[in-house]
Amino acid sequence: MRFLLLFSRQGKLRLQKWYTPLTEREKKKIIRDMTTMVLARQPRSCNFLHWKDLKIIYKRYASLYFCLGVESQENELLALEVIHRYVELLDKYFGNVCELDIIFNFEKAYFILDEFLMGGEVQETSKQTINRCIENSDMLQETMEEYMSKPAF
Amino acid sequence: MSPSVPLQEMIRAIRSARTQCEERGVIQRECAAIRAQFRQADNEGRSHNLAKLLYVHMLGYPAHFGQMECVRMIASPRYSEKRVGYLGAMMLLDEKQDASLLITNSIKNDLSHSSQFVQSLALCTLACMGSAEMCRDLAPEIDKLLRSSNSYIKKKAALCAVHIVRKVNELGELFAPAARSLLSEKNHGVLHGAVVLITELCERSPETLERFRKSVPELVHIMKGLVLSGYSPEHDVAGISDPFLQVRILRLLRILGHNNEVASDAMNDLLAQVATNTDSTKTAGNAVLYETVLTVLDIKSESGLRVLAVNILGRFLLNNDRNIRYIAMTSLQKIVGTDHIAVQRHRGTIVDCLKDPDASVKRRALELSLALVSASNIRSMMKELLNFLSTCPLELRAQAASGIFAAAERYSPSQRWHIDTILHVLTTAGGDVRDETVPNLIQLITTASELHCYTVHKLYRALLQDISQQPLVQVACWCIGEYGDLLLKGDCQEIEPVQVNENDVLDALETVLQSHMSSPTTRGFALTATMKLSTRITENVDRIRSIVSIYGSCIDLELQQRAVEYNALFKKYDHMRAAVLERMPIMEKNSTGQTNGETTGELVKEVQPVKVIQGQPPTQPPASQVCDLLDLLGDSNDSGKPSSSSAQSSNNTSSPGGDLLDLLGGLDLMPPTPVPTIPVYEKNGVNLTLSCQKQSETSLIVTLTASNSTDADITTFTLQAAVPKSVQLLMKAPSGDHLPACGTVKVTQVVVLNNPNKVNLKMRIRVSFTSQGVAFQDTVQVDSLPECR
């Protein structure tokens, strides 16, 4: 996997994860290209696109588009499952996740993503394990914060 | 300086900004506050500030001043600060930034931290943005962690190792042993990481690949466990046990079994089992099936298994889910070369997919359909493809049109069918065809001599309906010009006869000439066609004269030149007009890839007397020369083409019919002399000499020089030449055609010969000129050209 992007129907970026080193300019260009391409698609069309030498897999969940850029030897159907798994994780964590949750708690969305994917590959295939890890990390943070008597974010 | 607000309040403030300008204002204030906070050494709300900065960065605003803060936060002992610090590092620091090196030490320390969550942060960051240097530094630590007893750390270390190997290839050796031992883990996360690591190692090093082939039985065993095991709540996705791991294992097996009989045999059973047992109602199952099919097709599997795989793809084609259909077609595309017959069985479904509303599916279906066209199904496939062409989206038209042309050229059952197909394409998608189509089509039309009448009628009618498709209009104009007499005669067996009169035809051509939709090239075609009609119609020649003279003052340079030349043809050279505008002979097909644009329509290029044979780009119809040469040699020609007369433009390539060699066969060949110039012809006051220069192994430049030894000027001096069959000839433009008296000025003509078969070079030269009002014509034969070394 090269990158993961989340953006709204108006094209606003909500999350970006890059797994290869790129300049800011290149990243901005990719974001622009992805949003234009994906938002232009018809509602019931195929979820797979071609862009340069990459395969783009996208899926819409409510008002958010999840967009993955993968290399040509990757399995597209599995990429759809990856997207779905991430949404499930977010859903479990936030409880009926919606776009606002991701906007106001973007750093948590990143933490969850970093427990699920790493270096562009799937890290853990068990939902329960990931959920447990996130809970534990949060607890670690909160304990520290309580100890220091400061609110968490 | 406004007080710092917690992260969520800031986000709210930014979102409530009503204009871009207001938003920028809020952000600028916040950034200023953040910068000030960063400068303070000890600050309780540090993680808040960095988090805010990261949000601002995501909106697209510059945040580079946060880089050092990230470095500081990572070094902090507090978990919350480390967390945000590492997140910031992954977002703001990539290997291109200098500051990234500063965190190497922190990462190193954190890798051996007592808390696994801190270790995990370090591992994650290294795997995300570690540069080659950092990777080299920290590789030993990672290797150590690969052997730790904590599964949580092991799985992350494995993926970190993957990143390291991607950055620094040589370190693969370091991780291979640890990777091997990880295969015996039970934890799926670790197993998955191990498989990914092994895949990466095998892809990069053939020796490692050899070593890991021994693990195939182990992998098969793991896979079997996954497929046959009962329901496992932790890893189940829609009835499939851990599809992510299954797919990765299948991919690794593919790499290990590729080009290796032994390994492929070991996995045959497993693949058959997965292929038959996997539930294909949901995406997860289909993902596993898809990967299985890819693996089967890529290893040395037995034929039964291959058939099974192709059948799975066939089933996918019938699936309701568009995504599945799409990937089925992508896979079939890959194997259509090798398993052609198997794919042909699914042709019907593929052709149906041409009608799918989704653009990606359509594209795939088009590519696959074009690959499946064969001699036996050409008619039905073409019907479908032509149907598709009329409804397909614009971006696919050019591809569809060229695909159809290529298929038609290879498999057309008859010439009429071929012409009809091309006409159909031109009328539906004429604007999207490539440039070479026009000359190719013209060449095709000339070869189908029985169909000239039919073709010109059809084209005329198409022209009447629509003059916006340029290639169609160009071909139509050319045909009308060339076969106008057939058009006017009106009787054609193949279509219902319609009486066409001369005025109608001229109207049509004039419309094309005057329409703003016509490109300059098209206009050129139309004008030349109009001119050609002057010898094919009887009553309206004056109209043609007036059309041509009008364009003599046209702004377009090309049109103006043509018009002026045609005018000259009417006025000064009227006696030659009939000969010049005669029917062209059949053109031979040139090598592909030569674009021709407008030259096929031209007959006259210079105002000079038309007998000049000009050097044209090699795409010109060569057969006109065929005619000439056959006539030149005064022999019967088998093709019975209309009489030569001189100079239709160029002369290239293939020489005359087989008779030539027979004619020259009886002559002795003199050994080539080293004399550079030889006199060839000396009669009637004309002295012609020939000299040669060897260009390369097979090509030769011959220069003919003529001079006048009489007291009277010689005019209209022309030379024509013929050479043996396999030799190619190209005559360049002569330096002139006027030989003034007493040899004051010489005329030279350069002829380039290409002799790939290295036959003996002979040349027959015909000399024609006028002297003191008397026309002379003579032929001379040169039996051996002196080849210079």
The SS3 of residue B752 is strand
Cα separation, B444 vs B589, in Å, equals 8
Cα separation, B750 vs B615, in Å, equals 10
Look up tokens 């440039």; give the residue.
B435
Mean pLDDT over B747-755 rounds to 84
The SS3 of residue B779 is strand
Q: What is the DSSP string of B84-120?
A: HHHHHHHHH--TTSGGGGGGHHHHHHHHT-SSHHHHH
A-B contacts at Cβ under 8 angstroms: 157
pLDDT of residue B483: 86
Mean pLDDT over A26-42 rounds to 93
pLDDT greater than 70 at residue B441: yes
Which residue, among B199, B235, B244, would best test binding to A if mutated, counting the most A CBs under 10 Å from its CB? B244
The highest-confidence range among B368-372, B535-539, B651-655, by mean pLDDT, is B368-372
Closest CA to B7 of B46, B42, B40, B38: B46
pLDDT of residue B777: 83
Calculate what percentage of chain B has a pLDDT beyond 90: 25
pLDDT of residue B699: 81
Higher pLDDT, B364 or B653: B364
Higher pLDDT, A135 or B6: A135
Confidence of residue B653 (pLDDT cuts 50, 70, 90): very low
Give exposure, A16-49, as e/b (b: 16+ Cβ within 10 Å): bbbbebbeeeebeebbeebbeebeebeeebbbbb
8 Å CB contact between B553 and B519 = no
Give exposure, B679-714, as e/b (b: 16+ Cβ within 10 Å): ebbeeebbbbbbbbeeeeeebbbbbbbbbbeeeebb
Calculate what percentage of chain A has a pLDDT beyond 90: 78
Centre a 10 Å sphere on the Cβ of residue B739 and count the other Cβ atoms it contains. Answer: 27
Q: Which of A103-117, B193-207, B442-456 has the lowest mean pLDDT?
A: B442-456
- Asked if B450 reaches chain A (Cβ–Cβ under 8 Å), the answer is no
The SS3 of residue B219 is helix
Structure tokens at A69: 């850029």
Closest CA to A14 of A61, A55, A64: A64
pLDDT greater than 70 at residue B341: yes
Tell me if A123 and B247 make a contact (CB, 8 A cut-off): no
User: Given CA atoms B191, B194, B195, B196 in this order, what sign does their dihedral have?
Assistant: positive
pLDDT greater than 60 at residue B674: no
Mean pLDDT over B15-26 rounds to 91
8 Å CB contact between B713 and B739 = yes
- Continuous segment of H or E residues that includes residue B49: helix B46-58
Q: Which of A140-144, B8-12, B205-209, B634-638 has the lowest mean pLDDT?
A: B634-638
Q: Alpha helices of B322-391 — where are they, by DSSP H?
A: 322-335, 340-344, 347-352, 359-372, 378-391
Q: Mind listing the pLDDT tens digit for each residue in B65-121?
A: 888 889 999 998 888 889 999 999 999 887 777 777 888 999 999 999 989 999 999
- Quote the strand ranges of A26-149, DSSP E: 48-51, 54-61, 64-70, 117-118, 121-122
DSSP lists the bridge partners of residue A117 as A122
pLDDT of residue A131: 94
Higher pLDDT, B677 or B689: B689
Cα separation, B444 vs B412, in Å, equals 12
Tell me if B83 and A137 make a contact (CB, 8 A cut-off): yes
Q: Mind listing the pLDDT tens digit for each residue in B542-600?
A: 888 888 888 888 888 888 888 898 888 888 888 888 888 888 877 776 544 444 443 43
8 Å CB contact between B667 and B762 = yes
Please give the model's pTM, rounded to 2 decimal places.
0.70
DSSP lists the bridge partners of residue A54 as A51
Look up tokens 């003279």; give the residue.
B549
pLDDT greater than 50 at residue A116: yes
Q: Which of A22, A78, A141 sits opposite B80 (nearest CB)?
A: A141
Q: Mind listing the pLDDT tens digit for each residue in B402-418?
A: 888 888 888 888 888 88
Q: Mind listing the pLDDT tens digit for each residue in B231-258?
A: 788 888 888 999 999 999 999 999 999 9
Which residues 226-265 of B are in CB contact (within 8 Å) with A? 234-235, 237, 242-245, 247, 251
Cα separation, B398 vs B264, in Å, equals 42
Q: Mind listing the pLDDT tens digit for each residue in A42-51?
A: 888 889 998 9
CA distance from start to end of chain B? 91
DSSP lists the bridge partners of residue B689 as B679, B705
Q: Which of A72-81, B6-15, B610-619 has the lowest mean pLDDT?
A: B610-619
- Name B43's Cβ contacts closer than 8 Å, sequence gap at least 6: B37, B49
pLDDT greater than 50 at residue B635: no
pLDDT of residue B189: 93
pLDDT greater than 90 at residue B142: yes
* Domains of chain A: total: 1
CA distance from start to end of chain A? 31
Which residue, among A73, A124, A137, A139, would best test binding to B if mutated, counting the most B CBs under 10 Å from its CB? A124
Backbone dihedral region of B722: left (phi > 0), alpha (psi from -120 to 50 degrees) or beta?
A: beta
pLDDT of residue A57: 96
Half-sphere exposure of B412 (CA within 13 A, CB side): 15
Tell me if A76 and B323 make a contact (CB, 8 A cut-off): yes
The 8-class DSSP code of residue A50 comes to E
DSSP lists the bridge partners of residue B751 as B702, B731
Indicate the average pLDDT of chain A: 90
Look up tokens 């090598």; give the residue.
B591
Domain span at A85 = 3-149
Mean pLDDT over B373-388 rounds to 88
Tell me if A129 and B189 make a contact (CB, 8 A cut-off): yes
Instruction: Give φ, ψ of A54 to 5 degrees.
Output: -110, 160
Cα separation, B777 vs B767, in Å, equals 6
Half-sphere exposure of B696 (CA within 13 A, CB side): 7
pLDDT greater than 60 at residue B3: no
Closest CA to B240 of B198, B292, B204, B199: B292
CATH number at residue A47: 3.30.450.60
pLDDT of residue B647: 36
pLDDT greater than 70 at residue B604: no
